[in-house]
């Protein structure tokens, strides 16, 4: 199986089992947190200033647009919280972890 960051989101997706979610969490940064209800993952990103925060938000928006899989984001002066969930399946799908891995990848540049 390719690294998650090398994969592309698909429109044909399904709800992951709890076991699949745990395995997928092991493939992304350990800073991604599983929600208590198990239906989403989130990560808080910190930056030095508003400009860098918004630059990050724009890169996440580009990834989301390319993958046609859009997170919820909360943006403040120096933080951005990114939350992934697949609404069409009512929880987490592989697409959520693919996008999380792609975001992890931009931070390693």
Determine the distance from the C-alpha atom of residue 31 to the mean position of all C-alpha atoms in its chain, rounded to a whole number: 11
CATH code of the domain covering residue 107: 3.30.1360.20
pLDDT in tens, 33-70: 999 999 999 999 999 999 999 999 999 999 999 999 99
For residue 43, being part of any structural domain is answered with yes
pLDDT in tens, 70-89: 999 999 999 999 999 999 99
From the number of C-beta atoms within 10 Å of its C-beta (0-12, 13-18, 19+), residue 47 rates as middle
Domain count along the chain: 1
What's the pLDDT score for residue 107? 82
Structural domain that includes position 63: 35-109
For residue 20, being part of any structural domain is answered with no
């Amino acid at each position: 199986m390719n690294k998650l960051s090398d994969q592309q989101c698909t429109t044909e997706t399904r709800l992951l089992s709890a076991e699949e979610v745990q395995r997928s969490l092991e493939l992304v940064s350990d800073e991604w947190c599983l929600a208590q209800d198990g239906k989403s993952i989130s990560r808080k990103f910190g930056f030095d200033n508003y400009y860098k925060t918004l630059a990050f938000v724009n890169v996440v928006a580009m990834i989301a647009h390319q993958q046609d899989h859009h997170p919820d984001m909360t943006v403040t002066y120096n933080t951005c919280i990114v939350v992934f969930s697949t609404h069409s399946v009512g929880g987490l799908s592989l697409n959520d972890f693919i996008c999380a891995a792609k975001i992890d990848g931009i931070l390693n540049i």
